[in-house]
Amino acid sequence: MSAQPSLPAVAFVASDRPEAQEACARLIRRYGSVAEGEADIIVALGGDGFMLETLHRNLDRRTPVFGMNRGSVGFLMNDYDERDLAERLAEADRAVIHPLQMDAWTEAGQVHSGLAINEVSLLRQTRQSAKLRISVDGRVRLQELSCDGCLVATPAGSTAYNLSAHGPIIPLDTNVLALTPISAFRPRRWRGALLSHQAKVTFEVLEPDKRPVSATADSFEVRRVQKVEVRERRDIALTMLFDATRSFGERVMAEQFAG
């Protein structure tokens, strides 16, 4: 009989939802827990939003995170099951993701930077549509986009806001970013673009006083921006762990055939 894998040093963390807190308490009683800074693996209990929060909180340590769904949306989470945790972690499939860097210039001349695991999005702040000029690697590709907004999504984020905006689902290993308009008015037929992960995307806000725009890197928001640059941070590698029977790649594939 083969030896059973031992449980690594695990930190259990949970969102504020009661079901997540209760599940966390049960898992700690069963397996014990260490502080996040001492963990080999973090087990996050909640939804996709809490998974992103956990990854952001551990950007410096880059500890692998295994999520279990105790929230409302769980595309990035595994099924909740208290049994056989050591085996699940030992056999887990690793998905490595690289965040986007957002540099946003405001009308006051300040520069604000943030990292996005899912997407960087620009959104109109008032009833007036936003007007954006879009450049890729220093070359203007769209002189004027009239829209509610526009976003750049990572493969990991392509099934989130990007998908709701009718953007493409991107497999994790394709080295591609999605550039997707949000409710484009003109040019009406423009549906976005697929870009190399090495591309630098620049948004210039046209008529910023009349048509103010905010920029958001996941949950970090900067208001009344005038220019935003987005690029991938290949030097930062974050690891999510998925059950071997339902890897992230399989989830992305299944989502493309979902009704």
Residue recorded with tokens 């974050």: 238
The angle subtended at Cα 234 by Cα 232 and Cα 235, nearest 5°, is: 130
Residue 4 belongs to some domain of the structure: no
CA–CA dist 117, 102 (Å, integer): 11
| 21 shares its domain with 67 | yes
The pLDDT > 90 percentage for the chain reads 83
Q: Which H or E run includes 57? A: helix 48-57
Residue 77 has what pLDDT? 94
88 and 127 both lie in a single domain: no
The one catalytic residue in 48, 79, 173, 243 is 48
Residues 121 and 220 in one domain: yes
- Please state the rounded mean pLDDT for residues 132-160: 97
User: Residue 249 in 3-state DSSP?
Assistant: helix
Residue 246 is predicted with a pLDDT of 86
Residue 177 contacts residue 102 (beta carbons within 8 Å): no
- Whether residue 3 is contained in a domain is answered as no
- What's the first-to-final CA gap in the chain, in angstroms? 44
**Pairing status of strand 193-196 against strand 176-182:** antiparallel
The CATH number covering residue 45 comes to 3.40.50.10330
Residue 3 has a pLDDT of 65
Tokens of 14: 């949970």
User: In the chain, what are the helix, strand and coil shares in percent, each to the nearest 5?
Assistant: 20, 40, 40
Q: In terms of domains, do 82 and 105 share one?
A: no
Q: Same structural domain for residues 123 and 92?
A: no
- E strand segments, 2-154: 10-14, 41-46, 65-69, 93-97, 100-106, 111-116, 119-124, 130-136, 139-147, 149-153
Residues 89 and 207 in one domain: no
Q: Can you give the residue range of the structural domain that contains 171?
A: 100-232
Task: Determine phi and psi for 41, rounding to 5 degrees.
Answer: -140, 140
Both 213 and 146 in a single domain?
yes
Residues 172, 227, single domain; the answer is: yes
> What count of other Cβ atoms lies within 10 Å of the Cβ of residue 252?
21
Tell me the pTM: 0.90
Write the pLDDT tens digit of every residue in 53-83. Answer: 999 999 889 999 999 999 877 889 999 999 9
| DSSP 8-class letter at 252 | H
pLDDT at 1: 47
Q: Which residues pair with 134 in a beta bridge?
A: 142, 203
- Total domain count for the chain? 2
The Cα–Cα gap between 124 and 113 comes to 19
Phi, psi of 24, rounded to the nearest 5 degrees: -60, -45
Q: Considering the chain, what is the average pLDDT of its residues?
A: 94
For residue 54, CA distances in Å to 34, 64, 240 come to 15, 10, 11
Q: Name the E strands within 71-200.
A: 93-97, 100-106, 111-116, 119-124, 130-136, 139-147, 149-153, 176-182, 193-196
pLDDT of residue 230: 99
pLDDT at 251 over 90: no
48 tagged catalytic = yes
Closest CA to 184 of 231, 143, 129: 129
pLDDT of 37-58, one tens digit each?
A: 999 999 999 999 999 999 999 9
Residues 15 and 67 in one domain: yes
